[in-house]
Amino acid sequence: MFSPTRLLIFAGLAVSLTEGTIVAPAFKGVPATIADAADFNGSTTDASAIAATAQQVDQKTTVPIDAPPNQPVADTTVTAIDGNLVNATVSSTGRRGLAEASSHLSRRNNSNYELVFWGTGTGPNDRDASIEGTAYLTYTVVSNATYAIDDCLAKCDSVDGCVFANLFYEYNNELLDFVFGEKSNLKCALYADVHNATEKTNFGGQQSYPSPGPLTYIQQSSGWAAKSLVDPPTPPGYQKRSSDTYSVNQGFAFLDRYDVDACAQICNQRGADPVGGACEYFNIWRAVVNGAPTTYTCSMYWIPADESTAVNFGQGSLVVTESRGYSRKNVVVDGGFEGYTCGSAGEGIPFCFTQGYTNWQGTSPAGGNFDASIFNYQPYAHTGSAVGLLGSAFGTDQLNGTLAPAQPLATQAGQSYTLQFFHSSFYAGQQAEAPAAVRVVWNGQTITTLNVGFAQWTPHQLTVTAQGNDKLQFVGGSSPAYVFIDDVALYQS
């Protein structure tokens, strides 16, 4: 913080920087142009849009009549983005789904599963139906010499993400009877979510044998669910936080299964919003409508939330279940400069500034004075109350300052990271700010030079590769072409 003595020395300099109208930031100057405040109004979770979209999508499926058994599990499908129906995929290699059984053994016996419903239909006038539900994975056929429950559950054990198995006979399927090598019509369908008897809606009725051959039908359709479920693993670069939230929302996507890693990928790849920047937090949850799983929502946010915002329990027949929240780990300590405070605020808006504190350091070149500094003054900041400044805070020189984290960054060598920050160069007005520029320096090498000119708060994203204990610097500002820096983040890509 500047001293009273320095105040007296520079008091006479509290004069114009541009045509008698701009007072230097160190003297609590009022910008020639006021920056637009970050407006998060109307950007909380749009529960109504999510509920309406959930009524439009149909993610329920069953075993295709003509698909061969033991096919690889398909990638997770994105079925809607921000209320618009789509059909895209997100790689699901090596993922677990909604949850997995608490003991991932190579083979379980029936004691590790519980019977959800028992099959019926043993005669020509007594038919049954298989599950049509969400999160279908794949199927196998087991020996129809007996009702091979153990073999079906062992297959569920071997498929990543399987928590539910539906075992049933499918009759009059020519491919099962004569084409596929197993020569069995006892199907074992596997799902990454638990289903119930109300979802037994596939009664067959398809034409497999050449017409006028008989139609398919289902008998003895039973369902088993894993008794115990555990949390899915936390995605790399994230930490588990609260559950469902009404924080500052960036949008939502529907997935065809509960896939935490897929949600993380969507969050990582979502472009920077002009107001809030990159996705910093996501909430994944399962929508149950009229007692049956319907879709899996991935809500994305600019600002991480806490448990106090977990107030969305559903609407109407839609109930929120299995809600989990994850925030991205910011490698930059105190990227919003909020660790610098003015102590006792007293009356009015706190105002103070410094060349450095525990988390950030500003330096000036030879002959410079306060060419990089940190202010705690809410009118200058993008969010919160603190902000970094490049350019002489007292307006006494036109040299570039350097603003950098006080300690090297705790990065992983060889890992790719996304660097995000906001800048503004509005303080001195359009003419004075026209030459405003900032260089981003990574381990001593300039990776980009932004000739920003006059600009309101603007987000920037860059990709960098870590070597471990990396050094980040922002260099620029030339009074009165001031550049403010705020909300700096470094996320694992």
Percentage of residues in the chain having pLDDT higher than 90: 56
Task: State the residue for tokens 């929120």.
Answer: 320
Which range (172-186, 278-292, 476-490) has the least confidence?
278-292
pTM recorded for the entire structure: 0.77
Q: In this structure, which amino acid lies at residue 46?
A: D
pLDDT computed for residue 287 by the predictor: 87
What structural domains and CATH numbers belong to the chain? 4-30+333-492 (2.60.120.260), 47-59+238-328 (3.50.4), 100-226 (no CATH)
pLDDT computed for residue 279 by the predictor: 85
- Cα separation, 130 vs 133, in Å, equals 10
Q: How buried is residue 87: exposed, middle or buried, by Cβ count under 10 Å (0-12/13-18/19+)?
A: exposed
CB-CB contact of 364 with 371 (8 Å):
yes
CB proximity list for 172: less than 8 A, separation 6 or greater: 204, 208, 209, 213, 214, 215, 216, 217
Q: DSSP states of 215-257 as a string?
A: EEEEEEEEEEEES-B-PPPPPTTEEE--SS--SBEEEEEEESS
pLDDT computed for residue 14 by the predictor: 37
Which of 14-23, 322-331, 477-486 holds the top average pLDDT?
477-486
Q: DSSP states of 85-112 as a string?
A: EEEEEE--TT---S--BSS--SS--GGG
30 has pLDDT over 50: yes
* Confidence class for position 301, pLDDT limits 50, 70, 90: confident
How far is CA 414 from its chain centroid? 23
Query: Six-digit token pair at 284?
Result: 């994944």
pLDDT computed for residue 394 by the predictor: 97
Distance in angstroms between the alpha carbons of the first and the last residue of the chain: 36
pLDDT computed for residue 190 by the predictor: 97
Q: In this structure, which amino acid lies at residue 255?
A: L
Average pLDDT estimate for 23-30: 92
Instruction: Of 389, 373, 376, give the one whose Cα is nearest residue 423.
Output: 389
CB proximity list for 111: less than 8 A, separation 6 or greater: none
* Confidence class for position 361, pLDDT limits 50, 70, 90: very high
- Cα separation, 161 vs 262, in Å, equals 13
129 has pLDDT over 60: yes
295 has pLDDT over 50: yes
What per-residue string of b and e applies to 441-459 under the rule 16 or more CB within 10 Å gives b?
bbbeeeeeebebebbbbbb
Q: How buried is residue 439: exposed, middle or buried, by Cβ count under 10 Å (0-12/13-18/19+)?
A: middle
Percentage of residues in the chain having pLDDT higher than 70: 81
93 has pLDDT over 70: no
385 has pLDDT over 90: yes
* Confidence class for position 91, pLDDT limits 50, 70, 90: low
Q: What are phi and psi of 55, to 5 degrees?
A: -75, -15
